[in-house]
Structures are given as structure tokens and as C-alpha cells.
Structure 1
Amino acid sequence: MSKRLPQIFVLLFFCISTAQETPKVEFLTFADCLERTMANNLALQHGLLGEQVALTQYKASYGKLLPEITATGDNRNSWGKEIDSDTNLFVDEALHTNEGTLNANFNLFAGFAVWKNIKAEKQDRQISKINVERIKNDITIDLAQRYITILYLQEIIEANKLQIKSSEKQIELAQLKFDNGSVSESEVFKIKAQKASEELTLITNQNNLTDNLISIKQLMNLAIDTEIALSKPDLEINPLTNLDQQQYDLTKTAVNRHPAFRKSQLETDRARTELSLARSLRFPVITGRMFWRTNFSSTEDMIPTHEQISGNANTAIRFFITIPIFSRFQTWAEVKTAKLEWKQAQIFSKLEENRLSKEVMKAITDTRTSIKKRDASALAFEFTQKSLGADDLKFELGKININEWSLTKMNYNKAQATLIQSRYELLFNNALIKFYLGEAFSL
């Protein structure tokens, strides 16, 4: 027994090490993925920071209604001929004076530019806020596409593996027939070519699966080496009805709700405000200044410092007006540019409306097509499956050649892939339309 103890310890150590090295797999539903994406997505975090910046700038814009207050100090030490600030006479001796000034500048009128600037900052805040909604929409749709694609590829990969196993059995059968002299060697090569084609399809799908897994991890801001497993949703759904009769109303409703279209409308309003700001340059600017100034000299031993400060104090209020007469066409250029940019924003908003209308209409059309495609592909798969089963038996009995069997096998593979694809397409497109209409994206 004592001789076997070291072997037992080695085996136990190996089992513990293997258990520690085995990565933990996280099982996630679509709701779990969406929750993590909204909490950790880097693009969304960037947009939220932009919203905070816009909010800070909007709050700070109200400060332009207040006076600008500054304080300055001057410590002067001079030797030689100099003007004494107390007597305003030239003296030829060392002077040591200190002067302080408190300024307050008021913006009394600037063509309503201050209020228009506050309005512009408020619009910027609204734009940044709706931009966050747009980012959430985009990453939700992107996440759903990746999620559906991963499940589709996983299912199609399993089908590819079964197809390869089926081809391997046919290769064994063809090899036996070749050994018995029933078929030529070229017949065996054709089945091997069929198997090689299926293996290539498998490798391509596996590569696509890896790419989509990396993308969905990056959306959730997970480490690349994190192992995840996605929960398969119920593919038996009740699609939306009356899409043909309501497609235009649904499209209009979806476009008006879409953050991208609302953002383009806000940007049009923002461009209109910029035009108003540019026109304010044509108005005169009235400003006011109030200051209090005093000084004291450290060389005046006879007069106390506090008496010098109070005795030398000076208070003044001034008003200034600046009337624009000619600015070398600068004001004209800014007004003209702002007007053109406003028209550009209007056109862009219309382009965005057209783009989104086309996008929503495509989703509706794809949903209708997916319903018909699912039903048709289900029938096609059922018949090709029966046909392949019959041709497998015929090939074993030698009643059909390899060309006929290969054609039936290719039709079966294609019908199976089409059926799997149509079911996932219907699931995604149906959920997408509901999402466009304001419902939460759920699979």
C-alpha cells in the first residue's frame, strides 16, 4: 500500500491541476449579453462621457450672463528718476509702491448672442443625449446579429459534421465496391471530393464562428480568452401579421421614433441657431466696466498703510459701445456659411429619413420573405431528406451511380442549410421590427 501512495498523490495532483486549468464556461442568454453590453461597452461609455461634457458646457454657458471679476496686483521697485504715484511729480530716489485693482466687466448687449449661445449649448446637450440612444440602438442590433449568427453557425457546424460522417460511410462502401470490381476508382474519388468539399465548408463556418465570438465578446468588453456559451431561444415564434397592409404606417412610426432621425432633426435646429449667432455679429456690442484701485508705498513712514489704502482708493464705472461698420466681409462670410450649413443639415435630415425608411421597409420585407422561406425550406428539406435516404439505399444496391447520389446529397446539404438559416432570419427580423416600434429587443 505504501508503494502505491506516490502514484495516488501524482494522480490526485494531476486531477487537481487539470480542474484548475479547465476554463469556466459562462452560459449567457441574450438578455444577459444585452445587460453586460449596456454596462461595459466601450463605445457606449465614450458616448456617455460626451453627454456629461455637453451637460457641463451647458451649465457653464449661463455664466456668460454674469460679470467677469478679476483682481490684479503690482509690486513696483524703482531707483532713479521716476514719477511718484502719490504726488505725480518726478523724484530721484528709490520708490517702493504696491498697487491693487479689482475689475468687474459686464456684457450688457451683444445682439442677444449670450442667450443664443445658451440655446446652442442646450441643443448640443440634447444631441449628445440622443446620440447615446443611437449608440444603444446600434450596439443592440449588432449584438442581436452576432448572437443569432453564432447560434446559426453552431447548428450548421453540427450539420456539417453529420454530413461528413455520412460521406465517410459512403466512401467505405464505395471502396468495398471498388475492391470487388463493382465500380471504377473514379467513383471513389468523386465521393472523396464530396467529403473534401464538406470539410472545407466546415472549416469556413468554424472560422466565421470564431470571428463572431470575438466580436460579441468585444461588444460586452470581455477578455478574449473568456469561454461563453449562448442559450438557444425558441425558434417557434408567432410573426407579426398584416405587414402588407400596415407596412407604410409601421415605417413612418419606426422612422419618427428612431434616434438617428431625431438626432438629425436636432442638428438641423442647431444649425439654425448657429445662423442666429452669426447674424448677431451685425449688432453693436455694449459693455460696462467697474473697477476699484488703490496703492500704498512702503517708503512712506509718516502715513500708516491703512490710511494710504483708503486715501489712494479710486472707484470708476465705464461704459463702452462697439458698432460694427466694416469687418472685411468676415461677418458676411460667417452668415453665408451658417445659412449654407443650415440647408445642408436640412438635406441630411431628409437623407437620414430616406435611409431609415428603406432600412425599416427592408426589415418588413425580409420578415415576410423569411416566413415564406421557412415554410418552403421546411418542405424542401423534408423531401430531400427522404430522397437522400432512398438514394443511399439505391447506391448500396448498385441501382444508381455516384453522380446521381452526389447530386441528391448536395441538394440535401443545401436544403438543410437553407432551413436553418431561414428559421434564424425570421427570429431576428421579427424581433427587429418590434424593436423599431419601441419594444425591447428580445430573442
Structure 2
Amino acid sequence: MKNLLTLLTGVLFIAFSGAVNAQPTWDLQKCFDYAIEHNIQIKQQSLNTQYNENLVKQAKDDKLPNLNAQLGNDFSFGRSLTYDNTYDNINSASVSGYLSTNMTLFNGMTLSNTVKQRQLDLEVTLHELQKTKDDIMLGIAAEYLQILFAEEVIEVTKANIEVTKHQIERTRQLVEAGSAAKGALLEIEAQLAREELQLVNNQNAVQLSYLNLYQFLDLPISESFKVEKPKLPEVQANLTIMNAFDVFNNAVNTRPEIKAAQLRVESAMKQLDIVRGNQHPNLSFGANYYNQYNNQYNDIFGNRIDFGEQLKNNSRSSLGFTLSIPIFNRFQVRNGISNSELQIEDYKYQLQLASNVLRKDIELVYTNALAALNRYISTQKAVTSMAEAFRYTEEKFNVGMINTVEYNQSKNNLTVAQSDLIQAKYEYIFRTKILDFYNGVPITL
């Protein structure tokens, strides 16, 4: 049953690999471009930006005068007011029209400060949009490197399988010649089975890594692709990593989440100015025009007054200024000022929190990068030593000086060290790419 499951898994992977090989190749930048165009979170944040653009436009338009018109049609029955300002029992129909305009001249700079606040809020959403894009790109880079890591582990496993197959053939010849026990051959064959199973597991890990990347991109599996294998930078013992403190000093002046938090503080300050503006008098200008026609209006001689004459006689207009002086409004302004001041302090705390989170993230990334570099250097030495030790062990095994258990143990130690070296390399590359990204350098491979 176990062999059957292994066979079926291998067949499924071969089918998957054949499909992948027939697919187009995407580099990291193409993954970024696809995500920026199709990601739902980015689209939602873009809508939020457009919404705030409309708020800015409306705040500017609020400075303009308004203009409103009204038409009314009225039917009267029984005693009604006549043209000569007396009442009579008549049925009449009338049409009236009304046109008015109003414009704020001064309201404590509330309109101007509202425009400035809306512009700050728009800048906040633009930085939040960029932060969303940055998070998406970091996630894509992580999944992309995970695929490269898994594929490199497969190559190591395949190479080890070839070594084991070669050793099986050599051991079989020794068994047939009577120079080695058959148990040695069985042990090596069992080692091959374990390595082949590990290869299947590694191949499944590649498939799962591709699936994670597709889902991160919201890409249907029917439109899947194969990642391009870039030339990765060499990891050397004399490499130096930019200090976390220097990265933070640069990032705190450029990162969108910090910019957004700073702008929220400025927006809250403008809100305080808006609330304070309610303490000042409000001066506005208004103008009105009114006219009316009634089908029962007659002159003193009893003649019906025509439409044009009524519009000329019934027309009236007015214009004037209105000054509203706040005296007592149940302490609404005072309480509003207090709440705005509290909001400013809250946003200042949010700014400090965002700065602290950024500093901690950079320090963690820096520490992980340094640890990965040290682990890579030490593991590289271990691989070199274990490769030499395995070569020596293999020579002793070929002349019958050691048994298969010792041979397999030495080979497994080398395989583990090789995998650890690959993992440390990709861990270092990813962490340093994040540090560069915080430092304003775009992610590239």
C-alpha cells in the first residue's frame, strides 16, 4: 500500500510537472505587476482613494454660492385672496416661482480648513495604498523564494539518489562476487527507497509552494505559470549588512505607514481649527426672486390680467447679508474642541506606535539576516567537511571497512547539511531584500 501511494504521488507530480513545463514563465516583477492590477485589497484601497478625492473636490466646491429654484402650482376653492387684496368666493389656479442664492463670506476659516483637512486625508489614503502594495510585494517575494528554495532542494535530493544508485550497482557487483554480504545491498536499496520518498515529498513541497503563490496572487490555477530562476547573489563570509539603526533612520522618513500616521496628526490639527472656527460669527450673502400668476386676477375694471402683465406686477426680489453670532450652544463648541485635542493626542500615540513597530520589524529582520549569514557560513564549512568525510566513508565502505549503517548515516548527515545550507542562503537573501526594501530599494531578483 505504501509503495502504491508513493507511485500514485509520483504520477500526480509528473502530470503536474508536465503541465508546469508547458506553462509560461513569470519573473518576480511580472508577479508584482499582476498582483497590483488584480489584487482585491489594492482595488479596495484605490476606491478609498477615489472617495477621498471626491471629498476634496466637494470641500473646494462648498466655497461657491448655491442656486436653487422652485415652482409651485396651486388650486384654490371657496374664499380666496383676489388681486385687489380682498376675499371672494372664486375658484382659481395659480403658478408661482422662486429663485434663491446664498454664499458664505466668512465662517471662521472653516471652509478653508476643511479643504486642507480633506487634502491631508487624501494623502493618507495614498500612503495607505502604497503600504498595501508593499505588503503584497513582500508576501509575493517570500512565496517566490520559497519555490526557488524547494526546487533547489529537489536538485540536491536527485544528486544524492544518483550517488545511491551508483553505490547500489557497485555493491551488487561485490555481492555477486562474494566480497560483500547481501544485507549490505538490502540496506543500500532501503536507503534509495527513503531518498526517493524524500524526493516525492520535496516535489510535493514545490507543488504546494506554487499553489501558495497562485492563491496569494488570486490567480486561477488554470492560468498558472512557472517561476523564472534568476541568478541569485553569492553569499560570502566577508559580507556586511547595513546596520538596523541606519535602516530605521532612513525608513522612518520614507515608509508610507509612517507618512500616513504623520498626516493623520496634521489632519486632526486641522479638525481642531475647524471646530474652533465655530466660535466665530458667520457672515453670508443671500438673494431671492419671486413671481406668481393667478388665472382669476382682474384689474379694477374687471378685465382679466394677462400672464405677462402679472409677471411684471407680481415680481419681487431681495438681497442682503446675514450675520450669525454664536452666544450659547450648550457648550458644543467647547466640548468639540476638547474632543479634537484628545484626537490629536491619540494620533500622536498612533504615530509613535507605528514608529516602534517599524523599528522592531527592522531589528528583527536585521537579526534574522545576521543569524542566517552566520548559519550559512558555518553550514558551508560543515558541508565541506561532511562532503570530505562522506568521500572517505565511501572509500572505506567500498573496501568493506565499515557497514552500510555507518555509510548511510554519513550520507544522511551530508544531505541534512546541504539542505540547511540552502535554507540559510534563501533566508539570508530574503531578509536582506527586506532590509533593502525598508531602505528604499525596490525588491528585485
Query: In which range does the TM-score fall when normalised by the shorter chain?
Result: 0.7 to 0.9
State the one-letter code of the partner of 1:292. Y
Counterpart in the other structure of 1:16: none
State the one-letter code of the partner of 2:313. G
Change in Cα spacing, 1:242 to 1:159, as seen in structure 2 (3 Å) is closer
Counterpart in the other structure of 2:362: 360
Alpha-carbon contact 1:264-1:352 (below 8 Å) kept:
yes
Alpha-carbon contact 2:180-2:400 (below 8 Å) kept:
no
Counterpart in the other structure of 2:4: none
Change in Cα spacing, 1:195 to 1:354, as seen in structure 2 (3 Å) is farther
Structure-to-structure mapping, 1:113-262, within 5 angstroms = 113-163=110-160, 205-206=202-203, 208-237=205-234, 243=240, 246-262=243-259
1:408 aligns with 2:410: yes
**Structure 1 residues 223-253: Cα deviation after superposition (integer angstroms, max 9, x where no partner):** 2222311121223447898857854233201
Alpha-carbon contact 2:69-2:100 (below 8 Å) kept:
yes
Shift of 1:158: 3.5
State the one-letter code of the partner of 2:367. T
**Structure 1 residues 92-128: Cα deviation after superposition (integer angstroms, max 9, x where no partner):** 2111000000011222332221111111111111112
Change in Cα spacing, 1:166 to 1:275, as seen in structure 2 (3 Å) is farther
The CA distance in 2 between the partners of 1:200 and 1:278, in whole Å, is 71
After TM superposition, the score normalised by the length of structure 2 is 0.81
State the one-letter code of the partner of 2:421. L
Of 348-357 and 395-404, more deviation after overlay is shown by: 395-404
Counterpart in the other structure of 1:81: 79
Shift of 1:70: 0.7
The CA distance in 2 between the partners of 1:236 and 1:425, in whole Å, is 13
**Structure 1 residues 76-98: Cα deviation after superposition (integer angstroms, max 9, x where no partner):** 012122334x4443322111000
Alpha-carbon contact 1:377-1:415 (below 8 Å) kept:
yes
Shift of 1:210: 3.6
**Structure 1 residues 245-294: Cα deviation after superposition (integer angstroms, max 9, x where no partner):** 85423320122111111111111111211222222333333333311000
Give structure 1 stretches of 5+ with no counterpart.
Answer: 1-20
Alpha-carbon contact 2:244-2:362 (below 8 Å) kept:
no
Counterpart in the other structure of 1:425: 427
Alpha-carbon contact 1:25-1:228 (below 8 Å) kept:
yes
Of 96-105 and 254-263, more deviation after overlay is shown by: 254-263
Of 229-238 and 163-172, more deviation after overlay is shown by: 163-172
The CA distance in 1 between the partners of 2:354 and 2:255, in whole Å, is 10
Counterpart in the other structure of 1:17: none
Counterpart in the other structure of 2:282: 285
Counterpart in the other structure of 1:309: 311
1:54 to 44, 52, 55: 52
Structure-to-structure mapping, 1:267-286, within 5 angstroms = 267-286=264-283
Of 116-125 and 242-251, more deviation after overlay is shown by: 242-251
**Structure 1 residues 22-72: Cα deviation after superposition (integer angstroms, max 9, x where no partner):** 984111222332333334333333333322222222122111111121101
Alpha-carbon contact 1:235-1:424 (below 8 Å) kept:
no
Alpha-carbon contact 2:108-2:280 (below 8 Å) kept:
yes
SS in 1 for 2:252: helix
The CA distance in 2 between the partners of 1:304 and 1:46, in whole Å, is 61
SS in 2 for 1:111: coil
**Structure 1 residues 348-388: Cα deviation after superposition (integer angstroms, max 9, x where no partner):** 11111121122223333333333333222222112222323
The CA distance in 1 between the partners of 2:385 and 2:236, in whole Å, is 25
What is the aligned-residue identity percentage? 25
State the one-letter code of the partner of 2:374. K
The CA distance in 1 between the partners of 2:236 and 2:314, in whole Å, is 87
Of 74-83 and 421-430, more deviation after overlay is shown by: 421-430
Counterpart in the other structure of 1:351: 353
Counterpart in the other structure of 1:4: none
Change in Cα spacing, 1:77 to 1:215, as seen in structure 2 (3 Å) is farther
The CA distance in 1 between the partners of 2:21 and 2:157, in whole Å, is 27
SS in 1 for 2:108: coil
Count of residues in Structure 1 that have an aligned counterpart in Structure 2: 422
Shift of 1:151: 0.6
State the one-letter code of the partner of 1:78. S
Counterpart in the other structure of 1:7: none
Change in Cα spacing, 1:23 to 1:438, as seen in structure 2 (3 Å) is closer
SS in 2 for 1:296: strand
Change in Cα spacing, 1:52 to 1:400, as seen in structure 2 (3 Å) is same
Of 254-263 and 169-178, more deviation after overlay is shown by: 169-178
The CA distance in 2 between the partners of 1:210 and 1:87, in whole Å, is 94
Alpha-carbon contact 1:243-1:368 (below 8 Å) kept:
no
SS in 1 for 2:25: strand
Change in Cα spacing, 1:441 to 1:236, as seen in structure 2 (3 Å) is closer
The CA distance in 1 between the partners of 2:238 and 2:310, in whole Å, is 90
1:66 aligns with 2:64: yes
The CA distance in 1 between the partners of 2:189 and 2:330, in whole Å, is 82
SS in 1 for 2:444: coil
Shift of 1:208: 4.6
State the one-letter code of the partner of 1:334. G
- Pairwise CA RMSD: 3.7
Of 238-247 and 133-142, more deviation after overlay is shown by: 238-247
